[in-house]
Structure 1
């Protein structure tokens, strides 16, 4: 690997020293880790992945629990974290070197988002750059050289941000039945339709958009007729309207309904061939499952770390509560589930990266691994977050201990971008050969 492949902040990250995360000046106050979480076993990772982990932990040490609690309360976007990460080149971790990226893989990007979440930032911190990492993967792979030069460098250097426009309110998980239309009009397309649950749309300057260029009634297969676009997302241009969605967790990152009404986009915003958008976008969807699995793992480890610290310090009936098997066993069980999900997650990320050069690794194999990893990590995170809240008892319900915030956020990877039930349908059909159930 060339030195250029390593983000600039790697040099600053070597031999870092982080103070202990627990403050004894305030009884039972669990603050965000100021060094990497000691609970996660790191053997078996590459040197590059460990360098990513160390460097990202250093950046995140400047954003304590109090920062994320305040942003969760106010709903204010974490612009400072995005600026810190883009300053040192991290936004382009998995994008080509000739565009200013680092040329690393989804394995390293998963470690980055895992570490951000684990630092105490949780899903909100990770989701603030999430789309910039995965939604740009199909653009980097399928766009023309001229398009890549025009579309990606400003995302890498932090001057612009991207959101991902796929989900629609009336189709949900039925991606092949999307109704948002992009109709050719001379040198432009006119986009009309509605998208929902679009994260970061309020701050995004671009959108990776999946829209139908041929009506569903006119195609032979539902997977045909969808096209992918990289568009300017100009809120001042006619035909574009946003409505913010109030939500349960991750409030620092906005979620939105987006309405298009003859919104004009240039024809050269089309990525790849017209009608081939679904095949193209799958390249990003498998990457997203790996990244989201990493974010879920980070959340679970963060919650478990706080619970185990509390259980060692909280004295009831003359003994630490962690001595009691009613506390100890559920936390140990949660840890083992996180470790198992970690192995599945980084196996999937490695398979995704290797499939780029190894033709023996099929898209189906990558899909099964990535979906399985997302499922297992989401379930392990939920177990860890729930048990952490219960271990803290009444204080687990208090905002100042932060685990309640993690519990609110851990539903995201269980629901999105595909539900647990649809993953089980996919594995049941594609792996076990069972009849299609939907």
Structure 2
């Protein structure tokens, strides 16, 4: 049996990122995010802070103004921002711009595309969004209907997208469209292409959708009506974007797992603090096993999910196969969310009636953790992936 060498210590650079994230989070406590959520305001001050700290350039190579690090370091920053007061806000903006924008371009963009977008993203001058999900094609990306057709030296894009977060503010957008109809493709994964578009554009209509939480960011319907893009807007090669988009979707799942872990750590820390102070029948409620056991169990499971998430990031940063990365990312997401829901539920229970009030913030974290149950992939679809691709069970759905 071979020997496996595992080092759980953070590198000096990783510790610096974690410490920087904690320092930033001190300036943006739960009260800040409560106000932004209630007012439906973008967190401008927070955006400027993470930009100044270089967090938007973590995965961007140094020659384009970034730090030249990996997804591992990005997840460390995300989790510590979330856990130390920011909740989902500590992850959300980084996903929209650094994962959808920077990481996609770093991995698959042309040299001209890298030079155009990456320096601005690294400086915090360019917000991004990704237009993938459609009304009739949610998890099943292969069924998207948005079409990109060549017209001379231009691409013309028509179609409708939904649940496109940040589209109201983004100056750059990654658009996923079909360049070969599904019925004409030699295989179902063929015919999808990726495009980079500059916004605003009169051919792109954006309408925010009222939603349950995370109201410091708008999530929108987007329609493309004869959107014309230059030939070099295509992220090559044409028709082979399926595996390229996996390089974005897998880190997105890791990011949401990091969010679930961070939000849960934050909720648990507040619940533990309150449980030491609040007394019923002369004893602090934290001494009651009815509260201790479920919170302790959730915390232990979250620590396990964190290890799997870091494994997924390590596999990604070391160019493992899509299958290996997908297996780890989906397992991390499933476990992190299930444990996270339990953690925030029992944090709210610890506060009793106060947990239902906005003043104590737990109700907001409950709304945030429940989004992660649904996005970027539902728990059930992640379990389908594990059942089929990890365990070798029969496929439970047809695309």
Q: Tell me if the contact between 1:216 and 1:225 (Cα under 8 Å) persists in the aligned partners.
A: yes
Q: Tell me if the contact between 2:91 and 2:255 (Cα under 8 Å) persists in the aligned partners.
A: no
Q: Deviations over 1:282-329 (max 9, x none)?
A: 111111111111111100000000000000000111111111111111
Matched residue, 1:248: 212
Q: Tell me if the contact between 1:96 and 1:102 (Cα under 8 Å) persists in the aligned partners.
A: yes
Give 5+ residue unaligned stretches, structure 2.
1-6
1:224 to 190, 195, 203: 190
Take 1:44 and 1:343, find their aligned partners in 2: how far apart are those partners? 12
2:142 equivalent to 1:183: no
1:43 deviates by: 5.9
Q: Tell me if the contact between 1:76 and 1:253 (Cα under 8 Å) persists in the aligned partners.
A: yes
Matched residue, 2:26: 61
2:137 equivalent to 1:171: yes
Take 1:110 and 1:84, find their aligned partners in 2: how far apart are those partners? 17
Matched residue, 1:124: 89
Matched residue, 1:35: none
1:263 deviates by: 1.2
SS at match of 1:210: strand
Take 2:176 and 2:295, find their aligned partners in 1: how far apart are those partners? 42
Cα distance change on mapping 1:203 and 1:421 into 2, 3 Å: same
Taking only aligned residues, the RMSD between alpha carbons, in angstroms, comes to 1.3
1:273 deviates by: 1.1
SS at match of 2:134: coil
2:178 to 209, 212, 218: 212
Take 1:43 and 1:99, find their aligned partners in 2: how far apart are those partners? 30
Take 2:202 and 2:23, find their aligned partners in 1: how far apart are those partners? 43
1:329 to 290, 293, 306: 293
SS at match of 2:295: helix
Matched residue, 1:316: 280
SS at match of 2:136: coil
Take 1:401 and 1:65, find their aligned partners in 2: how far apart are those partners? 9
Matched residue, 2:45: 80
Give 5+ residue unaligned stretches, structure 1.
1-41, 356-360
1:238 deviates by: 2.6
Take 1:84 and 1:202, find their aligned partners in 2: how far apart are those partners? 21
Take 1:84 and 1:269, find their aligned partners in 2: how far apart are those partners? 31
Take 1:433 and 1:282, find their aligned partners in 2: how far apart are those partners? 20
SS at match of 1:330: helix
User: What TM-score, normalized to structure 1?
Assistant: 0.87
Equivalence map 1:365-376=2 (5 Å): 365-376=324-335
Matched residue, 1:426: 385
Matched residue, 1:266: 230
Take 2:220 and 2:90, find their aligned partners in 1: how far apart are those partners? 17
2:111 to 131, 135, 145: 145
Q: Deviations over 1:101-150 (max 9, x none)?
A: 10111000001111121122111332122122211222112222122101
Take 2:352 and 2:129, find their aligned partners in 1: how far apart are those partners? 38
User: What TM-score, normalized to structure 2?
Assistant: 0.95
2:198 equivalent to 1:239: no
**Structure with the bigger percentage of helix:** 2
Matched residue, 1:51: 16
Take 1:385 and 1:327, find their aligned partners in 2: how far apart are those partners? 12
1:408 deviates by: 0.7
Matched residue, 2:4: none
Q: Tell me if the contact between 2:156 and 2:229 (Cα under 8 Å) persists in the aligned partners.
A: yes
Q: Tell me if the contact between 1:244 and 1:254 (Cα under 8 Å) persists in the aligned partners.
A: yes
Matched residue, 2:264: 300
1:394 to 353, 358, 362: 353
SS at match of 1:392: helix
Take 2:104 and 2:41, find their aligned partners in 1: how far apart are those partners? 29
